[in-house]
Amino acid sequence: MLGMGRVSFIFQIMYASRTPHFTECMLFSGGAFIACCAYVVKGEALIYRQALFDTIACVAQTTTIAPNLRALYRRYFGFLGLNKIVHNALSIVVNVIARAQQFYFPKKFNWEWKLEMLSKKYEKETVALCRKIIMPGMQVIDIGAHIGYFSRIFSQLVGNQGIVNCFEADPENFELLNKNTKSLSNVRLFKNAVADRDGTINFYHIEESTGCHSLIAPASDSRKITVDAVTLDSMLKNGTLEPADIIKMDIEGGEPLALRGMKKLLTNSQNIQLICEFNAESLATGGVSPQDFIALLESFGFTVYGITDAGPVPLKTLMDKNLNEYLLPTGYINLYCRKVSAQSSFSLKTEENMSA
């Protein structure tokens, strides 16, 4: 019979693992089953029932997906040295999910990075905001589209009447972006950097990363290549693009260059909304201070908000409170910029109710 301690543990597992997301449910059940099979093959002296309980706890290492389960795993079974078996099982399950979703990843990605994107937990605060501000029929521009994580989400949100224009300059990322969006008829791809001038430009490919490539020469080791650059203003002028409703931009410190190349677009549109990364270190590498970057955004008539778990909050309020508390683990925060005249389907936090 099971002791009261084991029964209590089972109820903790049931509570911690409850989730409405199909992907996560599939992960937990599939990972537990595969890991249990591994125990049997290895001839470990564990009965099936106990192996099932233990491997469900092991699957709890999904840090961003189920932190409660990870805590339980560490508490009850962290000493058993099961990580290798669990990691192999999780890799198999996550790869099956990726294949089912037709989502392809860089070889450098481990199972957890893949799962974070497959379950749409990566930058979940920004994803939640996008679901509120992007409407069917909108024109969205994705600058620094990487492998298509946000592009795929945008495609669903704008629907058949909308368009998502994706820009990605890195050759390796562009290849995956193409594979991940080729079935989406409302997505258009451009193998270009977005900058402050048209023509060829230096681009720095970071060998140890997939998401840190930039127009700005980094302090870390990189491989310099040349890529074709465009300005959004020139693409609007020649008719390649139509005026955008939403622009999302994440180009590792190259944001000021891109902004200078879309002056007319940003100035002439009173309803345009912008989401961009705010990384003080990357900006400083390009010779731009955080204050100058915010001033540049405000010069286009934007009010600037930080995207937090609580939703968009005025950046000034966050800075007054201590911006570091709101930074994501890698040291940045995404910004939401909109003009006073911009229509929105939801209300934003104000300085007054934040300080209340």
Give the pLDDT confidence of 92-101 residue by residue, as tens digits. Answer: 999 999 999 9
Phi and psi of 334, rounded to 5°?
A: -85, 145
- Residues 127, 103, single domain; the answer is no
Q: Which of 161, 154, 151, 239 is nearest to 189 (CA)?
A: 151
pLDDT the model gives residue 328: 57
The per-residue pLDDT for range 111-129, each reduced to its tens digit, is 989 999 999 999 999 999 9
Total number of domains in the chain = 2
Predicted pLDDT at 300 = 96
Q: Kindly state whether residues 100 and 136 are assigned to the same domain.
A: no
Kindly write down the DSSP assignment for every residue of 164-194, as one continuous string.
Answer: EEEE---HHHHHHHHHHHTT-TTEEEE--EE
* pLDDT recorded at residue 161: 96
User: Is there a single domain that holds both residue 158 and residue 43?
Assistant: no
- Regions of the chain where pLDDT drops below 70: 1-70, 73-74, 76-81, 321-330, 341-356
Decide if 325 is inside a domain.
Answer: yes
pTM of the model: 0.78
Pair 163, 298 in one domain: yes
Residue 116 lies in a domain: no
State whether 245 and 97 are in the same domain: no
User: What is the 8-class DSSP label of residue 244?
Assistant: P
Among residues 238, 233, 291, 236, which one has the least CA distance to residue 257? 233
Q: Is residue 117 part of a domain?
A: no
Tell me, yes or no, whether 129 and 237 share the same domain. yes
Structure confidence at residue 344 (pLDDT): 55
Q: Do both 278 and 177 map to the same domain?
A: yes
Where among 111, 141, 162 does a domain terminate? 111
Are 276 and 325 within one domain? yes
Q: How far apart are CA 151 and CA 226, in angstroms?
A: 24
Range of the structural domain that residue 270 is part of: 123-355
Q: How confident is the model at residue 121, as a pLDDT? A: 92
Task: Tell me if 73 is assigned to some domain.
Answer: yes
CATH code, domain with 168: 3.40.50.150
In whole angstroms, give the CA distance from residue 151 to residue 166: 7
pLDDT of residue 61: 35
User: Is the residue at 309 inside a domain?
Assistant: yes
